[in-house]
Amino acid sequence: MLTLEQLAHAFEPVFVDIRERASVVERFIDRNLFQLYMATLWANVVLSPEEAGIGEDDLPTLHDLVVSELVDVIGEGTDLETVYRFVSSKAGEKTMIEAKLNQTHKDLLQYFSSMILDPDGHKRWMEEIRSDLKK
């Protein structure tokens, strides 16, 4: 298990890259785009922590780092639920279109949104998909 300092060091270049990609002009960050990138980061790390060089047991600490980064850019009270709520909104859909995300990328973000925002509904939805696949 990595320490907070080790994770912060390992992910600092990722956070810097996300801030740069979401920057419109120097020191101005497009908050909507930033949220999409952070949602993408979290989804990818959760799906394959080993590809990010961490273990599953590092996810809670990384979660805290990601939330800290969100608060720093978006503001107090922002967390991953806020970000995925944005992804599921009309503004989120508009931002995904403007960012020219492909359908697979959109599906990934919407899948995570359903998991985080409505875990019971997500579970029912996945059970329906599994039963349809068995037919």
Q: For 33-71, what is each residue's pLDDT tens digit? A: 999 999 999 999 999 999 999 999 999 999 999 999 999
What local confidence, expressed as pLDDT, does residue 80 receive? 94
What local confidence, expressed as pLDDT, does residue 122 receive? 64
| Assigned token pair, 86 | 């944005």
What's the pTM value of the predicted model, to 2 decimals?
Answer: 0.86
For CA atoms 104, 120, 32, 10, give the dihedral sign: negative
Q: What is the pLDDT of residues 119-134, one digit of tens each?
A: 777 677 667 777 777 7
Of the candidates 42, 83, 40, the one whose C-alpha atom is nearest the C-alpha of residue 66 is 42
**4-33 burial, b for 16+ CB within 10 Å, e for fewer?**
eeebbebbeebbeebbeebeeeeeebbebb
What local confidence, expressed as pLDDT, does residue 126 receive? 67
